[in-house]
Structure 1
Amino acid sequence: MAYSVAFPGHLHVLRQSGAAAKSGSGASKPASLAALWAKNYVTSLANRDEAEQLKQTSELAEIASAEGRLRTANFLKQNLTQASAKAWSLTNELLADEIWRHGINPQVINPWQIAADSHHLFEIALNAYGERVTPRRLSVLVNNEFGRVRQKYTAEDPRAIGVVSMQFHYTGQLLLDYLSPSEHLLLQHYFKVMDDHLYMPLKAAYEAAAAYDYDSPLLQAVRELLPNSTRIAQEVCKRISQQYPGYQSYSGSLGALKVRISSIRDVEMFQVYLCLCVLENSIQSVQQELFPLCVMLYPRLKVSWKLVQEMLHAIGWEMHDLLSADTVAAFLPYLSEVTEMFSIEAFQE
């Protein structure tokens, strides 16, 4: 029997049937969704109080100047190769056994190619920072390039993106460790753009949206969720952290800043996959990409399946509280299926 999320009765809906109405090229739709997603980098600053304090300092004014940004960008470029090498060591330590256990073809995991792609994409982000391109604008500009790299690694084995994403994540963390708190605060949102575009199927969602009429109810539902996805993720992570105050993941407690940032990104990732499910009228992307990725990564990161279950339930309630009933109705069938897929009964803890 299919799992049913316990929402109020008026939100109980059947799966959408039939193909959505399609238009011609719909070329403007991906850019529209990309712009909506990019709003996250304006509305989701994690440390507002700290930011306000730093704004009062002359240090931040100097660091945020054109000269200060160029100096920071050039300094990190000089340390990029070293950070990338250390990141690969950490990634290999974390996932080498999982790569073998899951039978991933070692030829798909080419450290030299991954390092080259990592270097290239970090240079794009650092150049944008140095040229005072905003994170919001960067998110729109890099969609094709980051999407190309993501599709390159998911083409042969979708699980490979887990290795690539961890390499990028560790590289970004190591580069941030070189910086002062003020520099860290400014640059972290640029690296979040990179994390988002590598972990999440954003390009695939934008391309799927192009097949719909602008007034399609399904496209309207996705347009309502995307700019709210970070707010939902923040509330979900806050709720789970309060529910499990003593929980320790691989990187620390749920309340630790690094863990909270990664957790918010993961909850956003699940929402983007739900958007792709709605637009494709299928959970195939979850079955082929997200589920295998989580099965490989979460045990190593000490994320329990009970925690994932609680996260999915919390996503549903936050959607119910924040979004319109029609939008929730569009997502609910897929959220129910994904929750069933990640049920505790499916795993041996």
Structure 2
Amino acid sequence: MEKSVLLEYVPIYTPCRDNTPVESLTNLWASCYTTDLSILSSETGQEAVVTLVKTSSPTGRSQTVKQLKRVLQLNCERAGIQTNTLFSYIPNVVNLSDAQRIATAATRLYTQVLDFYEQQSPSPSSFVLMPSLAIQAIAQLLEELEPSLQELRLQHFAAKDPRAIGFLSTQFHFTTQFLLSRLTPTEQLLLSPYFRFLEEQVCIPWKRVCQAAAGYTVQSPSLALVRQMLPYSHDIAVAVFQRAFEINPHYQSRRGTLSDPGIMTSSIRDMQMFQGYLWLSILEGSTTSIEEELVPLCMMVYPTVGVSWDLAHQGVQLLLEEIQARIQSEYLEILLPYAQAMQFSFAELLQKDV
């Protein structure tokens, strides 16, 4: 994450209440987009809290949204140009009309997120009483975004080159970077979880994970496993990235080194994506989504950006080690078949060097 963003994500794990399994997972999923506000009082004092309250007020949010909307379409198109440059050595990964449609869809989705953000204004007392701030009404936000996201997915499936999904997620990542760079650190603090939520909907099946819980009772061990681990997806991803960086401090992909803030952000998102497919497989009782969705996606994208299969395989190993170190021992028997399937799939890619 860019160093100018004073941002931490604080998972909130709570015991299962009397809601449905789907609601239970959805609430935990929402907790993954929680901003730690304690850093403001501990590092920057009361003045920063006053700035936060002012920026988060209806007037402050309106000003932030108005500023970004003026440059939104331009930055979505700029992100498309930069993405196209990155993928330029692949002939026609998306054609001009596809790229224009993606930019238009991205503009519409970011506009919806900004409109939603503008409406979500917490009371000033919440900054005093609560050490963190979560996206409010996350189910409502997803409901509002879903038609536009579905249209975008249909456009992707219609693209001639399946690597277009890599183009798509990269373009959203660049758009977020460009937009956040125009904001103050306090504005970044408030808006980053919303933009991260949007980015993740493009490539991580969190919604499907929650929906897959419908086939379980609240006492199910498989559901309990996912409930335990889901809120810590970001922490796990960060830990894995840090270990990978320590092992490979000078590694360079086509986009840059691991120390580059953009590479760090996208790498952490990838590790969250791997977790999403792992939890989805466990709840579906099948490794199909790993073998037929995650692996082919990596086969399409990683060679494009110059990520070696050695690094990808190492990342999977580190991820599974981190998860096993955190998981309760009674759930290891449930986890291992799916973890081994993921490990085997990437070991095969390393051996084949596809």
Q: Does 1:229 align with 2:221?
A: no
TM-score, length-scaled by structure 2: 0.79
TM-score, length-scaled by structure 1: 0.80
Which residues of structure 1 form unaligned runs of 5+? 1-26
Match for residue 169 of structure 1?
173
Match for residue 352 of structure 2?
346
Give the Cα separation in 2 of the matches to 1:130 and 1:144. 17
Q: Does 1:140 align with 2:139?
A: yes
Give the Cα separation in 2 of the matches to 1:105 and 1:89. 12
Please tell me whether the aligned partners of residues 114 and 164 of structure 1 are also in contact (alpha carbons under 8 angstroms).
Answer: yes
Aligned mate of 2:110, from 115, 122, 126: 122
Give the Cα separation in 2 of the matches to 1:55 and 1:122. 32
Q: What SS does the aligned partner of 2:245 have?
A: helix
Please tell me whether the aligned partners of residues 147 and 198 of structure 1 are also in contact (alpha carbons under 8 angstroms).
Answer: no
Please tell me whether the aligned partners of residues 135 and 193 of structure 1 are also in contact (alpha carbons under 8 angstroms).
Answer: no
Pairs within 5 Å for 1:101-112: 110-112=98-100
Give the superposition deviation at 1:251. Answer: 3.9
From the superposition, tell whether residues 156 and 324 of structure 1 become closer, same or farther in structure 2 (CA, over 3 Å).
farther
Q: What SS does the aligned partner of 1:179 have?
A: coil
**Letter paired with 1:172:** T
Give the superposition deviation at 1:301. Answer: 2.4
Q: Deviations over 1:5-53 (max 9, x none)?
A: xxxxxxxxxxxxxxxxxxxxxx93333212111212226x699589843
Give the Cα separation in 2 of the matches to 1:37 and 1:169. 20
Give the Cα separation in 2 of the matches to 1:154 and 1:112. 12
Give the Cα separation in 2 of the matches to 1:116 and 1:319. 38
From the superposition, tell whether residues 217 and 73 of structure 1 become closer, same or farther in structure 2 (CA, over 3 Å).
same
Give the superposition deviation at 1:138. Answer: 5.3
Match for residue 68 of structure 1?
60
Identity %: 32
Pairs within 5 Å for 1:108-257: 110-132=98-120, 135-137=134-136, 139-147=138-146, 149=149, 151-153=153-155, 155=157, 159-257=163-261
Structure 1, 209-218 or 247-256: larger mean CA deviation: 247-256
Give the Cα separation in 2 of the matches to 1:124 and 1:69. 14
Give the Cα separation in 2 of the matches to 1:269 and 1:261. 12
Please tell me whether the aligned partners of residues 199 and 269 of structure 1 are also in contact (alpha carbons under 8 angstroms).
Answer: yes
From the superposition, tell whether residues 163 and 99 of structure 1 become closer, same or farther in structure 2 (CA, over 3 Å).
farther
From the superposition, tell whether residues 245 and 105 of structure 1 become closer, same or farther in structure 2 (CA, over 3 Å).
closer
Q: Deviations over 1:186-228 (max 9, x none)?
A: 3222211111111101222222221222222212211111112
Match for residue 78 of structure 2?
86
What is the alpha-carbon root mean square deviation over aligned residues?
3.0
Give the Cα separation in 2 of the matches to 1:55 and 1:339. 48
Give the superposition deviation at 1:71. Answer: 0.3
Q: Does 1:286 align with 2:316?
A: no
Q: Deviations over 1:114-141 (max 9, x none)?
A: 2232122111211222223665335433
The alignment covers a number of residue pairs equal to 318
Match for residue 3 of structure 1?
none
Give the Cα separation in 1 of the matches to 2:186 and 2:45. 7
Structure 1, 229-238 or 175-184: larger mean CA deviation: 175-184
Give the superposition deviation at 1:146. Answer: 4.5
Give the Cα separation in 2 of the matches to 1:208 and 1:200. 14
Structure 1, 253-262 or 186-195: larger mean CA deviation: 253-262
Give the Cα separation in 2 of the matches to 1:153 and 1:330. 37
Q: What SS does the aligned partner of 2:304 have?
A: coil
Aligned mate of 1:40, from 32, 42, 50: 32
Which residues of structure 2 form unaligned runs of 5+? 1-18, 122-132
Q: Deviations over 1:285-340 (max 9, x none)?
A: 22332222222222232322222112111122211221112333222211211122
Match for residue 44 of structure 2?
53
Give the superposition deviation at 1:172. Answer: 1.2
Give the superposition deviation at 1:97. Answer: 4.1
Give the Cα separation in 1 of the matches to 2:320 and 2:42. 31
